[in-house]
């Protein structure tokens, strides 16, 4: 996993740095494969490295009021995760957990900061990603406060189909409870809505296998909220 020069996942670095700089990056990183359900990093512990998600899918989650977990978002490879924790008190303020087999490359924090100073192009691309993610976060906040559960479930299914799996048929990566936690409802409500979507001919459900039959109808539900 440690081959920064030829790594297709290292997000801007190969296009920005020379071989010597990439070699330094390689010397200060380590790779690990996480199985489904394994923690990549945990809320509340000290942050000493940046995580580059090379393959797989993870959930970003935080403990809320009363110890209830809230899923903030899903992140698909390739992508950096955990960079905001490296600024300030250097503590992870949320957790990351693999929801399918996932490969992660950990880059030493000091080395990563050095790379940011070395290349304005590398730093610019990191900032551009932050801006893009912040806009998406604001949009998701509005949706979670203004949309009803059916609209939020439609959003989630469309996100799986269009962005994560790029297919109208996929295996649902989250449990019914995790789906409920992601937009603040109950597991029973999620199960009921999935059954209603199936009854209305919008999707087909076979345990965790989902097939979108009528995507226009699903988009309409998403748009109406």
Structural domains of the chain ordered from first start: 13-119 (2.60.120.10), 147-224 (1.10.10.10)
List % helix, strand, coil for the chain (3-state, nearest 5). 45, 25, 30
Judged by average pLDDT, the poorest of 99-108, 120-129, 190-199 is: 120-129
Pairwise pLDDT comparison (25 vs 142), residue with the higher score:
142
Beta pairing, strands 49-55 & 102-108: antiparallel
pTM score of the predicted model: 0.85
Average pLDDT value for residue range 145-157 = 90
* Confidence band of 146 (pLDDT split at 50, 70, 90): confident
Q: With contact defined as beta carbons under 8 Å apart, do 69 and 182 qualify?
A: no
Q: With contact defined as beta carbons under 8 Å apart, do 169 and 163 qualify?
A: no
Average pLDDT of the chain to the nearest whole number? 86
* Confidence band of 110 (pLDDT split at 50, 70, 90): confident
Whether pLDDT at 29 is above 60: yes
Cα–Cα dist 49/28, whole Å: 10
Judged by average pLDDT, the poorest of 4-13, 65-74, 107-116, 208-217 is: 4-13
Judged by average pLDDT, the poorest of 90-99, 105-114, 213-222 is: 105-114
Task: Write 191-200 long-range contacts (CB < 8 A, 24+).
Answer: 193/149, 193/150, 193/153, 194/153, 196/150, 197/153, 197/157
Whether pLDDT at 134 is above 70: yes
**pLDDT of amino acid 10:** 64
């Amino acid at each position: 996993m440690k081959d920064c020069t030829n790594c297709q996942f290292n997000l801007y670095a190969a296009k920005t740095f020379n071989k010597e700089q990439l070699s330094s990056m390689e010397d200060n990183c380590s790779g690990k494969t996480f199985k489904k359900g394994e923690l990549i990093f945990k809320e509340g512990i000290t942050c000493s490295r940046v995580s580059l998600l090379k393959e797989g899918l993870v959930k970003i989650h935080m403990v809320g009021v009363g110890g209830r977990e809230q899923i903030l978002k899903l992140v698909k490879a390739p992508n950096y995760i955990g960079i905001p924790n490296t600024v300030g008190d250097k503590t992870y303020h949320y957790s990351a957990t693999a929801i399918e087999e996932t490969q992660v490359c950990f880059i030493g924090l000091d080395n990563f900061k050095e790379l940011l100073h070395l290349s304005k192009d590398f730093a610019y691309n990191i900032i551009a990603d932050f801006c893009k993610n912040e806009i998406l976060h604001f949009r998701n906040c509005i949706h979670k406060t203004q949309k009803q559960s059916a609209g939020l479930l439609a959003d989630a299914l469309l996100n799986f189909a269009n962005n994560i799996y790029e297919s109208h048929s996929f295996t649902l990566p989250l449990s019914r409870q995790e789906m409920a936690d992601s937009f603040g409802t109950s597991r029973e409500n999620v199960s009921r809505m999935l059954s209603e979507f199936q009854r209305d001919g919008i999707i087909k459900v076979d345990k965790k296998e989902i097939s979108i039959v009528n995507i226009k109808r699903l988009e309409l539900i998403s748009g109406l909220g």
